[in-house]
Amino acid sequence: MVRVVPGISAGGHEKIRTGTDGQKFGLSIADGYAQHAVARILDQPQLELTGLHCHLGSQITSVKPYLAAVRRMVGLMARRHEQHGLVPPELDLGGGHGIAYRPGEDALDLTSLARKVRTELADACASAGLPVPRLVIEPGRGTAGPAGVALYRVLSVKHSGETVFVAVDGGLSDNPRPALYGVRYAPRLIGRHSPAAPARVTVVGRHCEAGDILAADAELPADVRPGDLLAVPVAGAYHLSMASGYNLVGRPSVVAVRDGLARLLVRRESMEDVLGRDVGL
């Protein structure tokens, strides 16, 4: 397949918009590199062009960018058909389906996406006189995100003027996304019932960075204290895959929970694991 840049800006933050020209992903339609790649593949008898692929970005909550991508990708297919007499059998529109990380946030309507994209593809292919290719999407975060919950233990609570900092035993090493591109989460106190009124706090990580903030302006009970557990919903898509050894903090464990039963899937990374690669000791 050829990864095509259709020249469409979509996504929740400029750092996760991958459908525009001038970035590292894919081959652009505008400058002709996508067309050139298709021609080169067709000139190689040992290669088979199985389809075209694009990915517009992440956290997209509107169907409109996908419809624009369909039109541009079918336009590219039509031009390749005119020149080479070939129609790629598959069109992959990528993923980037937006989900709600906090109550009240927008999420992509998948039913509407399926209906409108299918109609747009059929109409565009009919207008171009092309057969309708097999349509592929990549749900990714839309499936994995809501399936996971991140758990943190409160280490300390600090009052600084009007700001309350709640420090936890994780942060940048298990979730760099708030620092990278401003993702906002809604942590909740679990494990005990608190009668205290809600208060606005800033949940911060344990790492040596002022920007290690997991949730700014979060709402937690005013009596939150060291030892408490905080749960961060919608953590299934990127916490594990983006976890690192930042500041030599070991990566967390992963536990599957169902019907009151728990099973360890990935064990916690120990200091022995971290030091195990050292060869000069």
| Residue that wins the pLDDT comparison between 195 and 84 | 195
Residues 153 and 103 in one domain: no
CA dist 174 and 239 (Å) reads 6
Q: Kindly give, in sequence order, each residue whose CB lies less than 8 Å from that of residue 181, ignoring residues fewer than 6 positions away.
A: 12, 13, 14, 15, 16
Residues 122 and 161 in one domain: no
Residues 94 and 202 in one domain: no
Q: Pick from 153, 148, 164: which is nearest to 205 by CA? A: 153
**DSSP annotation string for 40-59:** HHHT-TT-----EE---BSS
Residues 171 and 234 in one domain: yes
* Number of domains present in the structure of the chain: 2
Please say if the pLDDT value at position 64 is more than 80: yes
Q: 280 in a domain, yes or no? A: no
Please say if the pLDDT value at position 263 is more than 80: yes
CATH number of the domain to which 227 belongs: 2.40.37.10
Q: 96 in a domain, yes or no? A: yes
Q: Which of 82, 111, 197, 208 is catalytic?
A: 208
Q: 97 in a domain, yes or no? A: yes
> Each residue of 109-158: pLDDT tens digit?
999 999 999 999 999 999 999 999 999 999 988 999 999 999 999 999 99
What mean pLDDT, rounded, does the chain reach?
A: 92
> Each residue of 217-246: pLDDT tens digit?
899 999 999 999 999 999 999 888 899 999
Q: 80 in a domain, yes or no? A: yes
- For a pLDDT cut of 90, what percent of the chain falls above it? 75
Its domain, for residue 61, covers 2-141
Residues 59 and 90 in one domain: yes
Please say if the pLDDT value at position 20 is more than 90: no
Please say if the pLDDT value at position 199 is more than 70: yes
Q: What global pTM score does this model have?
A: 0.86
Q: Residue 12's pLDDT is what?
A: 64
| Residue that wins the pLDDT comparison between 70 and 12 | 70
Residues 243 and 153 in one domain: yes
Residue 208 falls in the annotated catalytic set: yes
> Each residue of 118-130: pLDDT tens digit?
999 999 999 999 9
Residues 185 and 68 in one domain: no
Q: Pick from 98, 100, 80, 102: which is nearest to 89 by CA? A: 80
Q: What average pLDDT does this structure show over 34-41?
A: 92
